[in-house]
Amino acid sequence: MNLLVTGGAGFIGGNFVRLALQSPDWKVGKLVNLDLLTYAGYRGSLADFDGDSRHVFVEGDIGDTSLVSKMLREHQVDAVLNFAAESHVDRSIDTPEPFITTNVLGTQRLLDAVRGYWKELEAGRKERLRFLHVSTDEVYGTLQTGDAAFTELTPYAPNSPYAASKAASDFLVRAAFHTHKMPALTTNCSNNYGPYQFPEKLIPLIIRNAIEGKQLPIYGKGENIRDWLFVEDHCRAIWTVLRGGRLGETYNIGGGAEKMNIDVVDTICALLDELRPDPTGPHARLKTYVTDRPGHDLRYAMDFSKLTRELGWQPSESFESGICRTVKWYLDNAPWCEAVEKRSYGRERLGLAEKAET
Helix ranges (DSSP H) in 60-137: 65-74, 89-94, 97-99, 107-120, 123-128
Choice among 117, 162, 193, 300 that is catalytic: 162
DSSP lists the bridge partners of residue 219 as 290
| Per-residue confidence band for 39, with pLDDT thresholds at 50, 70 and 90 | confident
Q: Tell me what pLDDT residue 344 has.
A: 53
Cα separation of 192 and 302, whole Å?
13
> What fold is seen in the domain 3-196+230-256+300-316?
Rossmann fold (3.40.50)
What digits encode the pLDDT tens for the residues 205-227?
999 999 999 999 999 999 999 99
In the chain, where the domains are located: 3-196+230-256+300-316
Q: Is the pLDDT of residue 352 over 70?
A: no
What is the distance between the alpha carbons of residues 340 and 345, in angstroms, rounded to a whole number? 8
> So what's the pLDDT on residue 358?
40
| pLDDT beyond 90 at 53 | yes
Alpha-carbon torsion angle 342, 10, 104, 174, nearest 10: -170
DSSP string, 147-202: PPPB-TTSPP---SHHHHHHHHHHHHHHHHHHHH---EEEEEE-EEESTT--TTBH
For residue 347, pLDDT over 60 is answered with no
**Mean pLDDT rounded to a whole number for the chain:** 94
Q: How far apart are the first and last CA of the chain?
A: 34
Q: For this structure, is 137 an active site residue? A: yes
CA–CA dist 345, 358 (Å, integer): 18
How many angstroms separate the CA atoms of 76 and 90, rounded?
Answer: 38
**19 Cβ contact partners less than 8 Å away, ≥ 6 residues apart:** 26, 232, 235, 236, 239
From 35, 78, 90, 138, the catalytic residue:
138
The closest of 59, 160, 176 to 108, measured between CA atoms, is: 176
> Any idea how long the chain is?
358
pLDDT in tens, 282-310: 999 999 999 998 889 999 999 999 999 99
Sheet containing 31-35: order of strands: 55-59, 31-35, 3-6, 79-82, 130-136, 184-189, 250-253
Residue 354 confidence (pLDDT) above 50: no
Q: What's residue 349's pLDDT?
A: 36
Q: State how far the Cα of 75 lies from the Cα of 238, in Å rounded to an integer.
A: 22
68-74: average pLDDT: 98
Q: Which of 86, 137, 170, 232 is catalytic?
A: 137
Q: What angle do CA 236, 196, 50 make, to 5 degrees?
A: 85
Quick check: is 138 catalytic?
yes
Q: What average pLDDT does this structure show over 175-183? A: 98
The average pLDDT across 143-160 equals 97
Task: Give me the mean pLDDT over the 323-352 stretch.
Answer: 78
Longest CA–CA separation in the chain, Å: 68
Active site residue 78: no
Q: What is the pLDDT of residues 254-289, one digit of tens each?
A: 999 999 999 999 999 999 999 999 999 999 999 999
